[in-house]
Each structure stands twice: as C-alpha cells, then as structure tokens.
Amino acid sequence: MAKFQSGKCDRLVNAMHITASVFINDDESGLHHDYEQWLEKLAPHEPISQYRHNDTGEDNADAHMKRQIMGREVVVAITNGQLDFGTWEQIFYGEFDGRRKKRVLVKIIGE
C-alpha cells in the first residue's frame, strides 16, 4: 500500500531506503489515488512468488520496482533563502513497504 506524505524540505532530499521514494508532484488526493493504482498495475504486489527477490523470504520485490518508477531523490535550488519551486511543486515521501521506521536524508549546501 503506497502512502504519500507532504513535507517542505530542500536542496538534496533522498530516501535512505530502497523501497521508498522522494519525488516532486501535485498535492492532490485524486492524483495520489491514481499513482497508487497505476504503480500497482505496473508492479503488482501479488502474487508474491512471481518475484525471485521474494524467494529470500521478503515480500517487497514490488516495492523495489515502484520506487524506481517514482525515483529516489530530488534536488531543489535555493534562491534568496527559499526553495526555488514552480507554482505547484511539492516534495513527497512515497512509501511502498511501510509499517516500520524509515528515514529521508536532507542535505543542504551553499552560503
């Protein structure tokens, strides 16, 4: 089950787990529903046995695929102390194998 959470961070923001994403898109619940359905079609969770990765005892091979589609990180310019966004850009954490503690790294460089 994918969960998308909005956050306002910056410069380099990356998922530290390989079954999660950080991406920029619209904060619109219908679109998030569409992403969930679309990702499940492209990389279905079940049957679990369709993936060799799951032979290791995992059940999250689909999450590794979904994360590749949605991406690992975003890089956002900082101009005059602000995130240099277009009108609708918002940063999201995309979870594809949750129900455990996971992290996102935020690294900011500049002057």
Partner 1 sequence: MKSFRKELWFNLPTRRGFVNITPQVETCLQESGIQDGLTLVSAMHITASVFINDDESGLHQDYEKWLEKLAPHEPINQYHHNDTGEDNADAHMKRQIMGREVVVAVTDGKLDFGPWEQIFYGEFDGRRRKRVLVKIIGE
What is the distance between the alpha carbons of residues 73 and 43, in angstroms, rounded to a whole number?
20
**107 CB-near residues (< 8 Å, 6+ apart):** 11, 12, 14
Residues 28-47 that bind partner 1 (CB under 8 A): 28-31, 33-35, 38, 42
> Given candidates 46, 56, 86, 99, which one binds partner 1 under the rule CB under 8 A?
86
Asked if 79 interacts with partner 1 (CB under 8 A), we say: yes
The residue range among 1-9, 17-25, 57-65, 98-106 that interacts with partner 1, by the rule CB under 8 A, is: 17-25
Using CB under 8 A as the binding rule, the residues of this chain from 46 to 75 that contact partner 1 are 69-71, 74-75
Nearer to partner 1, 23 or 96 (CB): 23
Cβ atoms of 84 and 77 within 8 Å: the answer is yes
Query: Is the preceding peptide bond at 47 cis, omega within 30 degrees of 0?
Result: yes
